[in-house]
Structure 1
Amino acid sequence: MSWLASVIGFLPLLVKGALVTLEITLLAIILSAIISFIIGLMRLSKHRTVRIIATMYVEVLRGTSLLVQLFWLYFALPMLLDVQIPAMTAAILALGMNYGAYGSEVVRSSILSVPRGQYEAATALNMGPWLRMRRIILPQALSLMLPSFGNLQIELLKGTSLVYLITLTDLTYQGMLLRTYDSSSTAQIFAALLIMYFILSYALTLLIRFAERRMARGRA
């Protein structure tokens, strides 16, 4: 009972941190989705320069540490520009740009997976490239993207645990703060963190599965 009482006593601060984590996650997901589609479509461009720029973006963002990118945006870039970037903005940018690079590969591969006959049929109907992409290709590719996008969003949620290092009062920050004041309850604190991260990630999983079912029903 004392173990349970300790966990219940921690909940108000942990819930406060979970709300910050949820805010960062949702905003970063929106940004990463936008970047995923922009860079993914750029990698399919007929123009070599556009493809090179998109490829460089993907390789640099995937080939470097998310933590270093976060530190660069929050500590290094403001020194170069002489402008202080808010911690929340730096966190959303770092997460959105990093997972957007991974998501662009999902977009690119899903579009390429659409049968070639669909392109030919749309061309036969005298559809232009953008109309063909919007009306024929993307609706089919979206159903292929959702499972991989779902995995990326859950990874993004777990990646938010790094933002406490730039002083954001997220779920991990609150847990570390509680541990500072009561190190004897370390096990209870980290157990509560595990449970809360699981609840958040499982909620995301359910939303993604719901979207997959709706998409499958629409195709049927």
Structure 2
Amino acid sequence: MDVSIPKKMVERSLWALWVLLVGGAFLWMLVGSVAYWSLHGWLPDKAADWVQAIGSVVAILAVIGVSYWERRNVQLDKSRSDYQYLMRAFNASVRLQGACRVVGACIQAGPEGTALEIYQRRLKDLYEGVCEHSYSTFVDLQFAEAWAAHKRCVALLIEELDLYLAGSSEAILDGCEHLVTAADDYVDQLKTALQRHSRLVGEGAWSH
């Protein structure tokens, strides 16, 4: 099991530790100096108490600030990771759809068994790549629904092509063409969902 600590987490933890150490050292130096000056009558008697009280409040606020900053960065990292996962799934679906279009073009041109078998094998290989992702792992429901619909559509296309290559009537190819068109629409929906998710998480990653 990989138990390595992410590099970004190490960097942020070191920065937080540095802030606490330097800030704490400065605070105690200030409190000690004021106490020394008060002891020698250079400041009012209660000045040290006030400085210590203010210093305690500042220290508490600093701890809260560091904790908030760390949580925010963790959430940002998760948002980026989720988006990258969606992007990988989208790219896999786009590659699969490219193979679907090749099959569709082959059907329109008048399919030859050997050529269609080659494209069919390519289609199945890319379909397996799409299946490496899972509906339940997507953080965006709209994306997940479009992804699942596209996956089902291509699965039906593969089944129909298998039937045709096994000797079924050429009439089955009409259904295959409709499936290719429908799959195109689902990829467009995937793109729209990915763009929307990018804007939603505030990263604007789609435009970069």
- TM-score normalised by the chain length of structure 2: 0.32
Larger Rg: 2
Q: Which has the higher helix share?
A: 1
- TM-score normalised by the chain length of structure 1: 0.30
